[in-house]
Amino acid sequence: MDYLNAIVQVITYLVMYYAPAMVANASPVFVGRGTPLDFGKRFWDGRRLLGDGKTWEGLMVGMLFGSTIACAESVLLDSPALYVYGLMAVLGALIGDIVSSFFKRRIGLERGAPLPLVDQLDFYVGATAFMIAVGWKPEWKLVALGAIIIVILHKLTNLIAYYLHLKDVPW
């Protein structure tokens, strides 16, 4: 029974603090093609800065959907701090994903190529860092357990998006 309580506690923690980031990270797939964040520019190594997968439209949709969840949680739980943490989690999630794309291009991985664990945790690490930057004091045990759950959820949601033809690859 202690395991069940622990799982419920981690899931509650994830929803409370990371739902805006999870929604922001997932929502750009609804945009499809758009204007690349890097405008097609190349880095000194000759590779694209980010590639076609990171778009202004995706960034805006991620910000809109994620901040909407942050606002709803804040109102429902009567916690202005959750709104601030939620907005920072959204921003951190999207920037974390963008930064990982930059590094994936540097090591020669093309758009859609998998980079295990980085693909699943880039947004989570970014969200955590940005929330900490505005004063959030996480329970590290729950953050670590949450990372494990995030990896599993990320794989499942990507498979679902792939089968719904929202993504070109199942990872």
Question: pLDDT tens digits, residue range 36-87?
Answer: 999 999 999 999 999 999 999 999 999 999 999 999 999 999 999 999 999 9
Give the pLDDT of residue 1: 63
pTM score above 0.85: yes
pLDDT at 96 over 90: yes
Question: pLDDT tens digits, residue range 12-41?
Answer: 988 999 999 999 999 998 887 899 999 999
To which residue do tokens 């899931």 refer?
A: 11
Residue 42 — left, alpha, or beta (φ > 0 → left; ψ -120 to 50 → alpha)? beta
Domain-wise residue ranges, the chain: 2-163
Q: Are 36 and 24 in contact (CB under 8 A)?
A: no
- Triad 35, 51, 49: Cα angle to 5°: 110
